[in-house]
């Protein structure tokens, strides 16, 4: 028999198949909300304050009331425990929408909808990390300031990822409106050039929790991660390219639009820096 799954919905833990949100919820109607995806290892939730800070900043920027006096840590652990995920890897997802409110604009007098899920997470196999992921440049440029927020308007990224899959790649390279390199469809980007690590300076990229942690981790090792404007041509000259996100950690890139990219031996160093930061 399938084990019952639970989610946190607003004020209580409910069975997943009994968790209901109104069709008038603005998250459903307009994508009017934000989400976070966190990694948990044996019940330990990584970078929780950083994820909550990003969610709160986005909620405030778009006038969605951020839950006050909510015991985030307790609730996230409660959802993990209810789903038997205190051991192993888990994906924890937090979703906050404006809830129900009429009118266009950003009406403030609302009860936001809060959902917390936890599911088992299977990372890519070690061979996949060793082989790396092919990257394909999505031809449509991202022109929205929403890119700086992990908003529920994810359709652009879903289309970009599908484009990459259709090309036989695993991730899409997203370009800024001006054609500069931005990030991946669900990943931040880091690359090596002249013996240094860089990440693209991109006005509408998501401030990734993982790339932030990597910057701090590299600094601890006396190394630097500099943020620089990057053209696609400059990226293609990199001596290593990596994709990062909270679930997957650090994934090397094996090719860019069909051109092979060196699998740099520095992947281990980057992952180690991230692990140390996660334990700090």
Ligand X SMILES: Cc1ncc(COP(=O)(O)O)c(C=O)c1O
- The site for ligand X (CB under 6 A) is made up of 37, 157, 183, 186-188, 206, 208-211, 244-246
Question: What is the DSSP code (8-state) at residue 204?
Answer: T
Q: Which is nearer to ligand X, 14 or 269 (CB)?
A: 269
Q: Which is nearer to ligand X, 175 or 186 (CB)?
A: 186
What's the closest the beta carbon of residue 184 comes to ligand X, in angstroms?
Answer: 6
Question: Radius of gyration (Cα) for the chain, nearest Å?
Answer: 19
CB neighbour list of residue 2: distance below 8 Å, 6 or more residues apart: none
Query: CA-CA distances (angstroms) from residue 159 to 124, 134, 195, 235, 244?
Result: 22, 17, 34, 22, 19
Q: Which is nearer to ligand X, 115 or 209 (CB)?
A: 209
What's the closest the beta carbon of residue 187 comes to ligand X, in angstroms?
Answer: 5
Q: How far apart are CA 79 and CA 81, in angstroms?
A: 5
CB neighbour list of residue 55: distance below 8 Å, 6 or more residues apart: 34, 35, 36, 66, 94, 96, 150
Question: With contact defined as beta carbons under 8 Å apart, do 227 and 218 qualify?
Answer: no
Token couple for 183? 């990030």
What's the closest the beta carbon of residue 185 comes to ligand X, in angstroms?
Answer: 6
What's the closest the beta carbon of residue 228 comes to ligand X, in angstroms?
Answer: 17
Q: Within 206-246, where are the H helices?
A: 209-220, 232-236
What's the closest the beta carbon of residue 140 comes to ligand X, in angstroms?
Answer: 14
Q: Which is nearer to ligand X, 211 or 261 (CB)?
A: 211
Q: Which is nearer to ligand X, 25 or 183 (CB)?
A: 183
Give the residue nearest to ligand X (CB). 210
Question: With contact defined as beta carbons under 8 Å apart, do 71 and 132 qualify?
Answer: no
Q: Which is nearer to ligand X, 137 or 187 (CB)?
A: 187
Residue with tokens 């290593």: 240
What's the closest the beta carbon of residue 54 comes to ligand X, in angstroms?
Answer: 7
What's the closest the beta carbon of residue 149 comes to ligand X, in angstroms?
Answer: 10
Q: How far apart are CA 219 and CA 200, in angstroms?
A: 17
Q: How far apart are CA 162 and CA 167, in angstroms?
A: 9
Q: Which is nearer to ligand X, 7 or 38 (CB)?
A: 38
């Amino acid at each position: 028999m399938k084990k019952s799954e639970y989610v946190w919905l607003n004020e209580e833990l409910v069975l997943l198949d009994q968790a209901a949100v109104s069709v008038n919820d603005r998250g459903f109607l307009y994508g009017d909300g934000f989400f976070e995806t966190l990694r948990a290892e044996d019940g330990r939730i990584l970078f929780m304050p950083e994820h909550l800070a990003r969610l709160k900043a986005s909620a405030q920027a778009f006038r969605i009331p951020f839950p006050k006096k909510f015991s985030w840590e307790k609730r996230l652990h409660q959802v993990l425990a209810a789903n038997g995920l205190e051991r192993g890897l888990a994906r924890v997802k937090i979703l906050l929408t404006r809830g129900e409110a009429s009118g266009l604009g950003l009406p403030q007098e609302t009860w936001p909808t809060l959902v917390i899920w936890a599911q088992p997470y299977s990372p890519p196999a070690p061979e996949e990390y060793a082989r790396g992921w092919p990257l394909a440049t999505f031809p449509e440029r991202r022109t929205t300031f929403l890119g700086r927020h992990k908003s529920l308007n994810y359709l652009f990224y879903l289309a970009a990822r599908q484009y990459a899959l259709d090309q036989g790649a695993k991730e899409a390279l997203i370009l800024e409106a001006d054609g500069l390199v931005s990030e991946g469809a669900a990943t931040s980007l880091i690359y090596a050039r002249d013996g240094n690590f860089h990440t693209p300076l991109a006005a509408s990229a998501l401030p990734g929790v993982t790339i932030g942690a990597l910057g701090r981790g590299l600094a601890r090792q006396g190394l630097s991660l500099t943020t620089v404007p990057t053209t696609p041509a400059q990226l293609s000259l990199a001596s290593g390219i990596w994709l990062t996100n909270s679930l997957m950690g650090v994934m090397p890139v094996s090719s860019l639009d069909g051109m092979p990219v060196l699998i740099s031996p520095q992947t281990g160093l980057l992952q180690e820096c991230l692990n140390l930061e996660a334990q700090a």
